[in-house]
Amino acid sequence: MRKIAVISLKWIKPLAFALVLVVIAMAAAGGAAAQASATIPEVTVVLDAGHGGFDGGVVSKDGDRESDLNLAITKRVKKRLEGGGVRVILTRKDEGALGVTKKEDMRKRAEIINASGADAVISIHVNKYAQSYRRGIQVFYGDSGYGGPFAVKLQGVFNTYINSKYSGRNYSALAGDYFIAKCSSIPSVIVECGFISNAEDLKLLKTRSYADEIAECIYKAL
């Protein structure tokens, strides 16, 4: 009996060590699984920074160009989406336009979108209104209807996390005759990230933190 006890004790430490390794491996696997679940696998999104180059879009009373704000916000959205495992395709990567005329510029954007095989298209813009009191984020989609469900979902997220926080006003997603939102059968939306005509919105639009809030909402809606 004494000999058997000695043999049993001999194997207790290796077995205990092996069990510890198993537990560590399971914990690591669980952590990896949790990290994987926090990403969106196999999703491709086209981000379209509206305007650019000769087409500055709307302009604030101080000379801030919409095209510059659009590009800055788009880059922050790209960073957040890619950080979550989303494949991102940009139509416009710098300050320039995609063509020498508006027609050529829009045609090239449409070509990129239709060749992308993307799951969604998000065109980033900034709004302007005659009365300066209007503010907040609005989502639009083409009247073809392809982007309707995504637009409604995205507008709801913006209302919950941004509009309620800054403007206290909720919007509904609206359909219209928007070329970039109906040039393909891919669900496409236009996000008007705020009003350049409103002093409070303009101040936000110039900050990286606000762009990151927009990016987080878009990620949540995918």
Judged against a pLDDT cut of 60, whether residue 206 lies above it is answered with: yes
Question: Distance between alpha carbon 91 and the CA centroid of its chain, in Å?
Answer: 14
Tell the residue number behind the tokens 């000999």, with chain if given: 3
Same domain, 20 and 97: no
- Give the separation between CA 48 and CA 98, rounded to whole angstroms: 11
Same domain, 69 and 10: no
- Give the separation between CA 113 and CA 129, rounded to whole angstroms: 29
Question: Residue 125's pLDDT is what?
Answer: 98
- Give the separation between CA 201 and CA 194, rounded to whole angstroms: 6
Question: Distance between alpha carbon 75 and the CA centroid of its chain, in Å?
Answer: 10
The confidence band for 41, taking pLDDT boundaries of 50, 70 and 90, is: low
The CB density around residue 153, as the number of other CB atoms within 10 Å, is 16
Number of structural domains the chain divides into: 2
Asked if 178 contacts 185 with a C-beta cutoff of 8 angstroms, the reply is: no
- pTM, rounded to two decimals: 0.82
Same domain, 15 and 58: no
Mean pLDDT, all residues of the chain: 88
Same domain, 20 and 69: no
Same domain, 11 and 80: no
Mean pLDDT of 72-101: 97
- Give the separation between CA 102 and CA 86, rounded to whole angstroms: 30
Same domain, 19 and 70: no
User: Angle at which helices 148-158 and 208-221 pack, to 10 degrees?
Assistant: 130
Same domain, 87 and 18: no
For 175-193, what is each residue's pLDDT tens digit? 999 999 999 999 999 999 9
For 107-151, what is each residue's pLDDT tens digit? 999 999 999 999 999 999 999 999 999 999 999 999 988 899 999
Same domain, 27 and 3: yes
Same domain, 97 and 6: no
Asked if 140 contacts 174 with a C-beta cutoff of 8 angstroms, the reply is: yes
The confidence band for 38, taking pLDDT boundaries of 50, 70 and 90, is: low
Structural domain of 59: 40-221
Same domain, 7 and 46: no
Full 3-state SS string of 166-179: HCCCCCCCEEECCH
Asked if 197 contacts 128 with a C-beta cutoff of 8 angstroms, the reply is: yes
